[in-house]
Structure 1
Amino acid sequence: MAHPQSDPEDPARVVMRRADGSPIRVLVVDDEAVLAELMSMALRYEGWDISTAGDGATAIALARQNPPDVVVLDVMLPDMSGLEVLRTLREQIPGLPLLLLTAKDSVEDRIAGLTAGGDDYVTKPFSIEEVVLRLRALLRRTGVATATGGAKLVVGDLVLDEDSHEVTRGGDLITLTATEFELLRFMMRNARCVLSKAQILDRVWSYDFGGRSNIVELYVSYLRKKIDSGREPMIHTLRGAGYVLKPAR
Structure 2
Amino acid sequence: MNILIIEDDLRVAELIQRGLTEHGFSSSLAYDGLSGKKLALQHDYDLVITDVILPKMDGLDLCKEIRQTKPDLPIIMLTALGTTDDKIEGFDAGADDYLVKPFEMRELLVRIRALLKRNNKSSQHTGFIIRYSDLEMNLHSKLVKRSNKDISLTPKEFKLLEYMLQNPERVLSRAEIAEKVWDTHFDTGTNFIDVYINYLRKKIDKDFDNKLIHTKSGMGFILKAE
Q: If the length of structure 1 is used for normalisation, what is the TM-score? A: 0.47
Q: Which residue in 1 is equivalent to 2:60?
A: 83
Match of 1:61 among 38, 45, 53: 38
Q: Give the whole-Å Cα distance in 2 for the aligned partners of 1:115 and 1:94.
A: 13
Name the counterpart of 2:162: none
In the other structure, the counterpart of 1:72 is 49
Which digits, 9 at most, give the CA deviation of each residue in 1:163-205, with x for residues without a partner? xxxxxxxxxxxxxxxxxxxxxxxxxxxxxxxxxxxxxxxxxxx
Query: Which residue of the other structure, out of 35, 43, 47, is the alignment partner of 2:12?
Result: 35
Deviation at 1:61, TM superposition (A): 1.2
Map 1:166-181; keep pairs closer than 5 Å. none
- Following superposition, the deviation at residue 67 of structure 1 comes to 2.2
Alignment of 1:1-249 (within 5 A): 24-143=1-120
1:60 counterpart letter in structure 2: K
Question: How high is the sequence identity, in percent, across the aligned residues?
Answer: 39
Matched length? 122
RMSD: 1.5
Structure 2, gaps ≥5 residues long: 123-226
Distance in structure 1 (CA, Å) of the matches to 2:52 and 2:94: 12
Q: Which protein is richer in helix relative to its size?
A: 2
SS in 2 for 1:137: helix
CA separation in 2, counterparts of 1:144 and 1:89? Answer: 21
Q: How far is the alpha carbon of 1:108 from its aligned partner? A: 0.3
Q: CA deviation at 1:90?
A: 1.4
Distance 1:25 1:32 in 2: 20
Greater radius of gyration (CA)? 1
In structure 1, runs of 5+ residues without a counterpart are 1-23, 146-249
> Aligned partners of 1:66, 1:33: CA distance in 2, in Å?
22
Secondary structure at the residue paired with 1:99? Answer: strand
Q: How far is the alpha carbon of 1:144 from its aligned partner?
A: 7.0
Provide TM-score, normalisation by structure 2: 0.52
